[in-house]
Structures are given as C-alpha cells and as structure tokens.
Amino acid sequence: MKYTNEIRVYYADTDSYQVVWHGAYLRWMEAARVELCNMLGLDLKQLQETGDILPVLDLHVKYRLSAKLDDILKIETEIEECTPVKIVFKQVISNKDTGAVNIEAKITCVAVNTHTGKMYRKIPEYIFNACKIRENAAV
C-alpha cells in the first residue's frame, strides 16, 4: 500500500537562501508515515493508549536535490519490509511539476511499550498483521 500526498514549500520551511532546510523533510516524512499507518487502521491515539509506539530506529536519507520556496512536492510512502521485529518504510519526495527526486529515504521502526519502556522482541500481532496484509497492496 502506498500513501501519496502533496505539500507546498512555505517560507518557514526554508533557510535564508529560500532552499528547504534539511530537517523539514524529516517532519514531512513523519507526517506521511503517520497517515499511512492511519490508512492501515493503526490510529496513533489508540497505539498510545495501549502503550505501543513505533519509534524510528534507523534513518537513511539521500538528499538528491534541494527543494525551493513555493515548490509543490509529492511524498510517496510505502512499507518496503515488514518482519516480526521491524517495519521498514520507503519514502520518496519529488517535485510534482518536474518529477525530479529531492529525497530518497528508508526508515526502520520497531515497537516499544511505553508502560515498560522496553522494546518488544516482536512487534505486537495486530500491528504486524495490519502492515503485512497490506504490505504489497496497491492503492
């Protein structure tokens, strides 16, 4: 399953050269991962209530081309891999008008129980099932 959204680059997202500040991409990618999880039926508030969260364990980002003020960007987010111990998201940010790729990223998340403060040895079954069943589904 792939989640795609678009955002406009605003002045607050840029530096003094009107180029997107590198941290803005991370904020946009996190929001897109949350939306994908919502599509999978994994509501963030419900996860928090049960004490199950999916923090980032590993983050690999390739900055290919800087986005600029007022660009319209397309963010594509999908689950690349879902195992009993981790979920790997693949994310690509590109310019909607030109198709030029700005960012390619792989983000690995694990499950942590906030009640115990410990990482699960295995992702809770309901999270694993939601990701695995839809891992290769088309939208």
Q: pTM above the 0.85 mark? A: yes
- Provide mean pLDDT across the span 65-93: 97
Any idea which of 107-111, 117-121, 122-126 has the lowest mean pLDDT?
117-121
| Residue 139 confidence (pLDDT) | 43
Q: Is the dihedral of CA 9, 60, 41, 3 positive or negative?
A: positive
Of the residues 13, 15, 70, 97, only one is catalytic, namely: 15
Active site residue 15: yes
Query: In the chain, where are the structural domains located?
Result: 2-134
Q: How far is CA 70 from CA 14, 76, 97, 101, in A?
A: 10, 19, 12, 16
Task: Using DSSP bridges, classify how beta strands 56-63 and 52-53 pair: parallel, antiparallel or unpaired.
Answer: unpaired
pLDDT over threshold 70, residue 136: no
**Residue 69 burial (CB count, 10 A):** 15
H/E segment holding residue 37: helix 22-39
| Residue 138 confidence (pLDDT) | 45
Per the prediction, the chain carries an average pLDDT of: 92
Per CATH, domain 2-134 is 3.30.70.270 = no
Cα atoms found within 13 Å of the Cα of residue 14, Cβ hemisphere only = 14
